[in-house]
Amino acid sequence: MKILLIGCGYVGERAADLLHAGGHEVLGVTHSQSSAERLGAVKPWTVLSGDVACPDAVQALRSRTGPVDAFIHCASSGRGGADAYQAVYVNGMTHLASAYPEARPLFTSSTSVYPQTDGSQVDEESHADPDRETGRLLRAAENIALGRNGLVARLAGIYGPGRSFVLKNLLEGRSGIEVSPEAPEGRLLNQIHVDDAACALVHLVTTNQAGIFNVVDDAQLTQRACLEKLAALFSLPVPETRSPDPLRKRGWSHKSVSNARLRATGWSPAFPSYFDALRHDPQLVSSILALVDEAGEVPLPRSANIVLIGLMGSGKSSVGRIVARLLGFQFVDTDHMIVDRAGCSIPEIFAREGEAGFRRRESAVLRELLGTRHSVIATGGGIITQPVNLPLLRHLGFITWLEASTDLLVRRTSSNNDRPLLRGEEPPRVKLERLIQERGPIYKAMADLRIQTDELSQEESAYGVAESARLFFSLRK
């Protein structure tokens, strides 16, 4: 199919990538010339610019693209209010529908058009008479698509890498459970992962559906259920209750949105619930922790664990076991977890899946460790080579870098054969020296504490780690 896609933002860009990968001809449209150029330089699909709010611009677009089979309107109104909704959604849909009369339209709307406040389940037949002007404008834009036998996708709250208000607010101490007489456990959260949203748009257009479809995952949680689970996962207190904010952009509503109609067409979410995504999306948690850390408004929450980093042979496992005993903590080793989950040895994983496969598994066990407390976590020497792991490591606990001289590392690693990185062409000493050069600066930047272990017994190193960690956590209280 030949598809015009208006708005190459958070969802639109992913939908365009999927359409292109599926063999469709994609013409993406951005609002500004500069973003069209930026995107055009990196995308295999065509990127044009044009303002859908302007009828002449849409006619000009039409003369450049010629007829299309379908258009998807997923431009955002930015931070604007009713005026922006009128311009981008209602006028935009009017102009597109008249410039592309042959095309099937898909308008990307929002589940905020359902104003229900009683916690009931709503589907596409439920009444959608929003009490806000912005909601009424969304409905007007929807009707333009429906009047042409087109599609309306009502998207729930979109989250994904770099965007999750629920988690970011919790980490920054801004969350509250908004309760009302009808919602004693807080409002119901209706969410959708950005990849699942993009997939749904592509699925609806390419399978020639018509009508209204809710795009939401399978697990609508109350704010309380969600925040309690999140608080446990990030070692934070459960937020307090508060009354609903009358200024909420999308209004106060409390309802459970059903995706049954969309599911019946053959779509299903890769992330059925928010918590599946926290666990399995490789970027999600890490990206939000990084946002909080970079914003610097509050210190990044750090869990009560000790994380040991350093090269192979630096003593992470042996020192770690002693630290755990000194503090009455559990001892955890990420390499052991990987071997356990994979059901085979590290050399076997490297042989079958390459280092990239091993690194994916290593990041996955790090996500699995979210929520762990009172543990000493010994990590594989290369865990810091993956930028996505760094915010997670920092959040997981007090980080100690165990250092040792090359002589000692060579001696300690020569006795066993389970480190594939030391079995290549390069002699182990040369390889280890190279790794020190490459990784040293990252270990240094990550470490809360750095211990040169050559002159110390394992007990002495362990004692230093334990006492420093005690001090670190008592000062943060």
Give the interface with ligand S3P as residue ranges (CB under 6 A). Answer: 312, 316, 335, 346, 380-382, 419-421
**How many other CB atoms are found less than 10 A from the CB of residue 250?**
14
Q: Supply the minimum distance, in Å, between the C-beta of residue 380 and ligand S3P.
A: 2
Residues 6+ apart with CB under 8 A from 357: 349, 350
Closest approach of Cβ 280 to ligand S3P, in Å?
21
Element (H, E) at 311: none
The SS3 of residue 218 is: coil
Give the nearest distance from C-beta 327 to ligand S3P in angstroms: 21
State the DSSP code for 158: E
Which residue lies nearer to ligand S3P by CB, 255 or 359? 359
Task: Indicate the angle between helix axes 10-21 and 194-206, nearest 10 degrees.
Answer: 50
For ligand S3P, give the closer residue by CB, 50 or 380: 380
Structure tokens at 82: 């009713």
CB of 36 to ligand S3P, least distance (A): 41
- In whole angstroms, how close is the CB of 283 to ligand S3P at the nearest point? 21
Phi-psi region of 23 (alpha: psi -120 to 50; beta: other; left: phi over 0): left
Q: Name the 3-class secondary structure at 458.
A: helix
48 versus 421: smaller Cβ distance to ligand S3P: 421
**What whole-number distance in Å separates Cα of residue 298 and Cα of residue 289?**
11
- CB-nearer residue toward ligand S3P: 112 or 363: 363
**Smaller CB separation from ligand S3P, 182 or 438:** 438
Q: How far is CA 152 from the centre of its chain?
A: 25
- The least CB distance from residue 397 to ligand S3P, in Å, is 17
Nearer to ligand S3P, 198 or 346 (CB): 346
CA distance 231 to 166: 11
Measured from the CB atom, the residue of 196 and 335 that comes closer to ligand S3P is 335
Q: What is the CA radius of gyration of the chain?
A: 26
Which residue in the block uniquely carries the two structure tokens 């079958």? 352
How is residue 310 written in tokens? 């350093």
In whole angstroms, the minimum distance from the beta carbon of 335 to ligand S3P comes to 5
